Amino acid sequence: MSSPNRIDRRHFAAQLAVRASALTAAMAPLAATSAAENKPVADKNEKGDKPAEKKPDEGTAPPELPSAEVILLTYLTRRHPSDHYDEAAVQGIFRDIRGDVARGKQLSEFPLKNSDEPASVFTAYRKSEESGARNQESE
């Protein structure tokens, strides 16, 4: 028996592939912008027919990638475009995302064993004796 809300593995894999490609497509403009900003200028050698090969600088670090919060904010605003996104709304969404990422990091740092499971305690509801006595008096 499968419920209508449940999806099978193939459908899940297809959705995962679509969302991963959407995230990649959303990040492509950011990568292109950062690549264009860091594009090296080709120097000509003495002959002028081929550009001289640039030696990689040992002191130069690769460009920094945007933070996870910025990536998620970009993804969400592109996936769900709206006219209601003003500066205050975007800042609020960014604060929420930053809090969620921080909580996720904090949770992932907590060591769990394979035997750990949620602590759920079941207690049956029983009327207290006082409420039962009041009901009998009111009748």
Per-residue exposure over 18-49, b if at least 16 CB sit within 10 Å of its own CB, e if not: eeeeebeebbeeeeeeeeeeeeeeeeeeeeee
User: Residue ranges per domain, the chain?
Assistant: 67-79+86-108
Identify the pLDDT of residue 96: 95
- The stretches in the chain having pLDDT less than 70 are 1-4, 30-59, 129-139
Identify the pLDDT of residue 44: 45
Identify the pLDDT of residue 137: 58
Identify the pLDDT of residue 12: 79
